[in-house]
Amino acid sequence: MISEDRARELYVRVKALKEHQQKLESHLEELDSKTVQLREMITAVKDVDTLLEGDDILVPLANGIFMPATAQKTDHLILHVGADTTVKKTPSETVEILEKQLTELAGFREQLLVQYNEVVAESERVEAEVKSEVGDV
């Protein structure tokens, strides 16, 4: 039979593991969302190749708010790179940058997934230990 102190220790451990698991799940969901956004951005940039100068376009002002405009230059894009700094890049250079970010996100997601699986396995191990000694958690 398990001591009361040991049962309390295991209960706290299971609770902490479950909280950590939920945080990792949240981070994985955020990464998945960013991955979808990057893929959409890549598709949009690739579509720039179909634009001609003088084509009517919609320019986003805010989420879901657009202003009609006319394409003037289609050979380059202006990218915000942080700290109020922008650079000109061709659509293909822009796609390369976005694909690199996508690759980095995928690597980070894999690392998080390994951590997540380790936490789940440890949580299941501790829960099994509790169940075998004191019954259902």
- Domain CATH for 74: 1.10.287.370
108-133 b/e (C-beta count within 10 Å ≥ 16 → b): ebeebeeebeebbeebeebbeebeee
Asked if residue 57 is part of any domain, the answer here is yes
The whole-angstrom separation of Cα 6 and Cα 112 is: 30
Q: How many domains does the chain have?
A: 1
Domain containing 47: what range?
A: 4-132
Q: Are the C-beta atoms of 58 and 68 separated by less than 8 Å?
A: yes
For 48-90, where are the alpha helices, taking DSSP H only? none
Asked if residue 126 is part of any domain, the answer here is yes
CB within 8 Å of 45: residues ≥ 6 apart: 77, 91, 94, 95, 98
Q: Are the C-beta atoms of 1 and 133 separated by less than 8 Å?
A: yes
The whole-angstrom separation of Cα 72 and Cα 66 is: 17
Asked if residue 9 is part of any domain, the answer here is yes
Asked if residue 60 is part of any domain, the answer here is yes
**pLDDT of 66-105, one tens digit each?**
999 999 877 889 999 889 899 999 999 999 999 999 999 9
Written as tens digits, the pLDDT of the chain (137 aa) is: 678 888 788 889 989 999 999 999 999 999 999 999 999 999 999 988 888 889 999 999 999 999 999 998 778 899 998 898 999 999 999 999 999 999 999 999 999 999 999 999 999 998 888 888 775 54
The whole-angstrom separation of Cα 82 and Cα 129 is: 50
